[in-house]
A and B are shown apart, each in its own frame.
Chain A
């Protein structure tokens, strides 16, 4: 089903060829069937709990369109992920019918939840979910389990009592999806996946809006090659919040650069670092899953642990360089960024930083940056 396509084809064609439905059309169709849909802001939340209440989580990361009305409510130094989310919410889309969930990913998103609830006012319920910030220990485990139970109670108040079997089934489904994603991720790193950069990230990001059963069906159809494909392409690892803009992904494909590994909040940082046992007790499973995710600036992780993780990924994927694609004004990420760049420069890893405001297209300067960086990578390939 999934196949390698020419880079010149449009983004819509890529989605069509891979049999992935368009995001807004899919959600619109789903809402028309009476499906409960909750708008969920980035990044980490107990999706299994929502599924157990028959609520579909439609994630809101970077809705298209200009930021106009959101600017009236937010400071200029707020990141475009938050601004675009608010712009989307202010349009009161019909597809979202079960409320909005604001995880505590950063202070801006946390405050946005408060603003939307108390100041701006929307007719739908607003939920918050305050992830623990810190490492795996008895305190953070207890705190996480407490907020899971609390969130369950809040959902029960609106959607009726939780059926334990449904939660267990949701955990099994989540485990299956994770297992497939880990295999696909590994296949990407070892050239066992014939997908362009854009196709790969379209596939990985489809989980943001497809029903879990539909997403699982899609993953089951991904063709993992028996032998690694022979590529004379430069290999790149990308770090940041979201994958680079579609135009950049296509441009990298044209330049002969494959993104073979990532450290993106929207993608790899939401996939467990290693295989987990099949779910037993849902509460334990959800807790374990949260703490086996890769290190992340938004969870207040240890920087050394992050450097170690990135180094391993670079080594495992044989990436020739590291691209930091930074969302402008992303506080948690920018705190780590400078030290990460310094560390990898000292290790002689070619590093490039781009800054995005989630525009529709890339600037000429950024194209030059990417091309020059690619020239450097190909020097390494040729030696």
Chain B
């Protein structure tokens, strides 16, 4: 299987991520770009950038799995799989003892249970509301006049936090406006926002349960304050990938690789 390469293209609501691996599963390149308004173009652009970074041509890629909410728009993909399965497979390859994946994505959050081969066993997703997602943080960052990096700075988890709703982004934003009007320190508001997301995620986790090690994926895993609060709430240490945003794309690449291997086995029967 020399010189065979596989890719996963994850077209999410906020970012489009591409991962390219070789036949042994070694990661050759990873790219994250904003999705913007055209998922198809973003996929094309991110894929070309990942090829360039890996010093490969398009013809050299044997299998490409499209995933994410825009998976149907990736015309050059050889297969498509939901981001739920892809995050499970990606987390498994990074942390083989993973039994539970928490993915906090741009427009939705998921808790996924996987088996020892990385296959999804069960999952739950947030419903019809951006509370507990990356979009929630983005909206609040705008309201607080902070950028996402500032919002992600490590915070003292023992400090005070302002009470903020964990059930609705719109209500939460109104609460933030009221808190600002009362001159509540921004640090307390940020802390309250993180706690709000953590509470939301925790309720999803309790509905499905925790098995094995827990791996956190999605861009929100960069938020150190939130990670600390989530670890405190769950009472465990989370696996945090080096590139949490590309775990879905990485899983997609591994699924493309597995599909190719399965097809070889089927041909040889």
Residues of A319-356 at the interface with B, using a CB-CB cut-off of 8 Å, are 345, 350-351, 355
What's the nearest-Cβ distance from chain B to residue A63, in Å?
A: 23
B128 touches A368 (CB 8 A): no
A contact residues around B121 at 8 Å (CB): 350, 376
Q: How far is A371 from B119 in the complex, measured between Cα atoms in Å?
A: 14
Choice from B83, B119, B120 contacting A368 with Cβ under 8 Å: B83
Of residues B81, B82, B123, B127, which shows the largest number of chain A Cβ atoms within 10 Å of its Cβ?
A: B82
- Please name all residues of chain A whose beta carbon is closer than 8 Å to the beta carbon of B127 when the two chains form the complex: 355, 365
Residue total for B at the interface (Cβ-Cβ under 8 A): 15
Q: Is the beta-carbon distance between A365 and B122 smaller than 8 angstroms?
A: no
A372, B119: Cβ atoms under 8 Å? no
Question: Does B85 sit within 8 A of A, measured CB to CB?
Answer: yes
- A160 in the interface, Cβ–Cβ < 8 Å? no
Contact indicator B82/A350 (Cβ below 8 Å): no
A11–B217 CA distance with the chains assembled, in angstroms: 40
Contact B123 A364 (CB under 8 A): no
User: Considering only CB atoms, which chain B residue lies closest to A355 in the complex?
Assistant: B127
Is B69 a contact partner of A364 (Cβ separation < 8 A)? yes
- Category for how many chain A residues contact B: 10 to 19
Most buried by A among B83, B108, B122: B122
The answer to whether B120 touches A376 (Cβ under 8 A) is yes
A84 to nearest B CB, angstroms? Answer: 19
Task: Answer yes or no: B177 CB below 8 A from chain A CBs.
Answer: no
A348 and chain B: residue at smallest CB distance: B121
B84 touches A368 (CB 8 A): yes
The interface residues of chain A lying within 8 Å CB-to-CB of B180 are none
Q: In the bound complex, how far is the Cα of B108 from the Cα of A379, in angstroms?
A: 24
The verdict on B125 contacting chain A, using a C-beta distance below 8 Å, is yes
Q: Mark A262-295, 1 if CB is under 8 A from B, else 0.
A: 0000000000000000000000000000000000
Question: Which 8 pairs across A and B sit closest by C-beta, in order of nearness?
Answer: A372-B84, A372-B82, A371-B82, A375-B85, A368-B82, A364-B69, A379-B119, A376-B120
- The answer for the CA separation of A368 and B71 in the assembled complex, in Å, is 10
Nearest-Cβ distance from residue B115 to partner chain A, whole angstroms: 9
Q: List 18 A-B contacts (CB under 8 A).
A: A345-B122, A351-B122, A355-B127, A363-B128, A365-B108, A365-B125, A365-B127, A368-B69, A368-B83, A368-B84, A368-B108, A369-B125, A372-B85, A372-B123, A375-B85, A376-B120, A376-B122, A379-B119
Q: Which residues in A have their C-beta under 8 angstroms from that of B85?
A: 372, 375
